[in-house]
Amino acid sequence: MRLPRLATASVVASTLLLAGLTGCTSDGAGSDGGGNTIVIGADLDNSSPVDIAYGRALQLRIEQENASGRLGDKKLVLRTQDNRSDPATSVRNVSALADDPTVAAMVMGSCNDCVVEAARTIGTKKVPTIALAAADEVAQPVADRQYVFKLGPNSSDSSATLVAELSRTKVPNVAVLYTDDLYGSGGEKVLTAELAKAHIPITLARSVKPTATDISQTVGTLTDTKPAALLVLTGPDQAALAAIGAKAAAFKGALYLDAAAASDMFIPKASAAATDDATMVFTQILAIDDVIATTPAKAARKEWFRDYISRYGNYSGVAAFAADAVDLIAAAVTRVGNNHDQIRAILETSQIDGISGPIRLTPANHSGLMPQAMTLLVARAGRWRLAS
């Protein structure tokens, strides 16, 4: 079975956009930074659709911060390095960015192993870093991650939301598909514990390599156990493959996706029919059209959603985490300029109602997205909607 054509022309174009940023500082800023020019470094994979969305969001939000006037005479610019999802390359990128005196902070993308491998370098060079990778190990243990912070769903929160819904709907048993990597293996352990507490048995659990492009046999093995629900803990592409595989196997149960599966608001045609009625744990931002702007935070989320679509034509759910990363860094830079220790101290006690949801960082918890940010979305007619 071939991987469905999830990468559209817009993704290819955005790859070229991100590649154009690699190794460069926008607006012609030189290595001396021009005094008031402050750089946000980004370590991303130019070939990853998720990291492409991160790069787009970082650039758009930086432009918005600069235009807002909140930074006074300071100006943020983005410098992106391509890590190709290779930890050794990522460590080199991080080291180079950290050695540049104009770089105030860094943002790292979806590669879990890249952040974990670079954590020692980040700590040694004392450069504040916000990681957008999903694994819990990205920000834990805090004692070894003093300069690393995480934005994005936590396995415990995603699993708790998922299992609460399974309990509410009285699902008698489940099968679990997860990736054989830091995120999937860690998430499967947390989910298994939550299911045990809820007395929901697992008929079978199976892992797949995160790079696998044919998982139909594994999905078929899981659905052969006749579970009432199939739970999928994978990235977006494999979640789509799982949905297609389950449909091909004539699976009649419910399909549940955890937060790592989130991608664009509009589901690709190749997997739209198979994904219909699937439930996904994520933040409200993918279905923000269904949200009434009753608070300033909700109004800001709707505005960001519209701005992103206006610029790029579709909305990627993960973009909100990158936007929040810029906001946190910009707020610190406004107060203390390019002082790494003080930026780190500010990040460690930051509390905002962000684009992705409420964020609370503390010295004991460097993973800031709060549990109440998580909600349930349902796939209907090729796009994600709030569950009723």
Residue 274 — pLDDT band, cuts 50, 70, 90? Answer: very high
132 and 149 co-located in one domain: yes
144 and 159 co-located in one domain: no
140 and 79 co-located in one domain: yes
CATH code of the domain in which 358 resides:
3.40.50.2300
Per-position DSSP letters for 352-365, written without gaps between them: EE-SSSEEE-BTTB
**What confidence score (pLDDT) does residue 319 get?**
97
pLDDT tens-digit profile of 321-333? Answer: 999 999 999 999 9
**What confidence score (pLDDT) does residue 34 get?**
44
pLDDT at 127 over 70: yes
pLDDT at 14 over 80: no
351 in any annotated domain: yes
Average pLDDT, the chain: 91
**What confidence score (pLDDT) does residue 276 get?**
96
Helix, strand, or coil here: 105? strand
pLDDT at 375 over 50: yes
Region 281-288 average pLDDT = 95
pLDDT tens-digit profile of 207-255? Answer: 999 999 999 999 999 999 999 999 999 999 999 999 999 999 999 999 9
Strand pairing of 279-282 and 375-380? antiparallel
**What confidence score (pLDDT) does residue 43 get?**
98
Instruction: Tell me the residue type at 260.
Output: A
66 and 176 co-located in one domain: no
Region 105-121 average pLDDT = 97
284 and 169 co-located in one domain: yes
pLDDT at 100 over 50: yes
pLDDT at 300 over 80: yes
User: Do the beta carbons of residue 245 and residue 203 sit within 8 Å?
Assistant: no
**Cα 262 from chain centroid (whole Å):** 8
159 in any annotated domain: yes
Task: Please count the structural domains in the chain.
Answer: 2
196 and 253 co-located in one domain: yes
Region 132-141 average pLDDT = 95
Q: In which domain, by residue range, is 210 found?
A: 155-288+374-386
**Of the candidates 280, 176, 180, the residue with the CA atom closest to the CA atom of residue 271:** 280
3 in any annotated domain: no
Region 57-66 average pLDDT = 98
**What confidence score (pLDDT) does residue 372 get?**
95
Q: Which residue has the higher pLDDT, 200 or 1?
A: 200
User: Do the beta carbons of residue 54 and residue 109 sit within 8 Å?
Assistant: yes
356 in any annotated domain: yes
**What confidence score (pLDDT) does residue 333 get?**
97
272 and 306 co-located in one domain: no
380 and 235 co-located in one domain: yes
**What confidence score (pLDDT) does residue 204 get?**
98
Residue 6 — pLDDT band, cuts 50, 70, 90? Answer: very low
**What confidence score (pLDDT) does residue 388 get?**
75
226 and 258 co-located in one domain: yes
pLDDT at 5 over 70: no
User: Do the beta carbons of residue 181 and residue 112 sit within 8 Å?
Assistant: yes
**What confidence score (pLDDT) does residue 35 get?**
65
Report CA-CA distances (Å) from 339 to 119, 128, 148, 251: 19, 10, 16, 55
254 in any annotated domain: yes
**What confidence score (pLDDT) does residue 176 get?**
98
248 and 357 co-located in one domain: no
32 and 141 co-located in one domain: yes
347 in any annotated domain: yes
Region 17-38 average pLDDT = 49
Percent of the chain whose pLDDT exceeds 90: 90
pLDDT at 269 over 60: yes
296 in any annotated domain: no
**What confidence score (pLDDT) does residue 21 get?**
44
85 and 225 co-located in one domain: no
294 in any annotated domain: no
H-type helices in the chain, by residue range? Answer: 9-21, 49-68, 87-98, 112-125, 155-168, 182-197, 216-223, 236-248, 269-275, 296-312, 319-336, 340-347
